[in-house]
Amino acid sequence: MFSSSNYLGLAEDPRVVAAAVAATEEFGAGSGGSRLTTGTSDLHLRAESAVARFTGYADAVLFATGYQANVSTLQALAAACRGPGLTIVSDAKNHASIIDGCRLAKASGAEVRVVEHRDIAAIDRALAERTTEHALMVTDGLFSMDGVCAPLPELIDACQRHGAWSMLDDAHAIGTIGATGRGLPEHFGVRPDIQLITASKALGAEGAAVATSAPVAELLRQQARSFVFSTSPAPGTCAAITAAVEILECDPGPVQRLHANIARWHVRRGTEVHDPAGAGPIVPVHVGDEAAAVEAAAQLSERGFIVPAIRWPTVPRGEAILRVTHMATHAPAQIDALCEELERLGL
């Protein structure tokens, strides 16, 4: 399986599974209400506290999905800034949840500027030319198709020059980027105002959390619509998130094994990576022709390798890829075997 976002294998980790089972047996299968009614338990608060502690922020707000977290955060910030106005500057290759969040923010009075992928000069211009009092730059951390990281230090510098807030969707970088898996802020040594993490990828569970300052967290708890109007995550989910975070805090093994596997891949493929902790687990193998990509994926499947072909509209026409994702649980021999199959296919 070279297509999973379960990067650290924590979805099957006995410690995470046991925590989810114990919580379900004690508290039941569902939470029974929204967070502002009856849906907040000690398990929800513990999960939020664990994420805040792990990321180094004052607070964190738990959402049922990363999609909800992005959409509701952007909309809530736009609504809160309706009077003085808010301009949102968004990378052209941001995740669909950010795109939809920007659309809802625009409906709530925000101006939205979409800039070219990782274009610092364009972001700087957009922030400088804004007519609103407030501005927010939002970007993916580790982009899920091309596998590159956002230039976070330069982005935050631009935000600071123009008095703008910064928001990072670190969904694919939490648990994978940084020496201890704390994402792009750890790797680059800088901190955005908002760091969104998902529990449904490297943490092996479900849901997401927005780590931020106490005032922004309180705003989200009162005005983020998917937080206010959705049934809260199940007890087992909350316990699994807390357990996964605690594993990363005390056991460096999963992150180290992932980084070792990433390094092995690049050595076998002849690509240079100075720091596997900053390389990321997503590697596109460029094919180009859509039919050729589909055929290559089918041949890999026949030989026991699950590697999806990614085509238009996910990527531009004529730029189809095989999307390889690495996991801490891959054996070195499995990585070597995939590299050999790709070489056989001329890729």
Question: Which of 140, 235, 248 shows the shortest CA–CA distance to 204?
Answer: 248
Residue 117: what are its φ and ψ, rounded to 5°? -55, 120
Catalytic residue, chosen from 31, 90, 144, 226, is 144
Catalytic residue, chosen from 44, 162, 172, 187, is 172
At position 264, the amino acid (one-letter code) is: R
Catalytic residue, chosen from 95, 162, 187, 201, is 201
**177, 149 in Cβ contact below 8 A?**
yes
**98, 127 in Cβ contact below 8 A?**
no
Q: Could you please report the per-residue DSSP string of 242-298?
A: HHHHHHHHH--HHHHHHHHHHHHHHHHHT---S-GGGT-SEEEEEEESHHHHHHHHH
> Is residue 144 among the annotated active site residues?
yes
For residue 22, count other CB atoms closer than 10 A to its CB.
Answer: 14
**165, 193 in Cβ contact below 8 A?**
yes
- Both tokens of residue 295? 């055929």
The residue to which tokens 């180094």 are assigned: 56
Residue 39: what are its φ and ψ, rounded to 5°? -95, 15
> Is residue 286 among the annotated active site residues?
no
Q: Could you please report the per-residue DSSP string of 52-100?
A: HHHHT-SEEEEES-HHHHHHHHHHHHHHHTTTT-EEEEEETT--HHHHH
Cα–Cα distance, 336 to 22 (Å, whole number):
39
Reading phi first (left if > 0) and then psi (alpha if -120 to 50, else beta), residue 175 is in: left
> Is residue 201 among the annotated active site residues?
yes
**154, 147 in Cβ contact below 8 A?**
no
Active site residues: 144, 172, 201
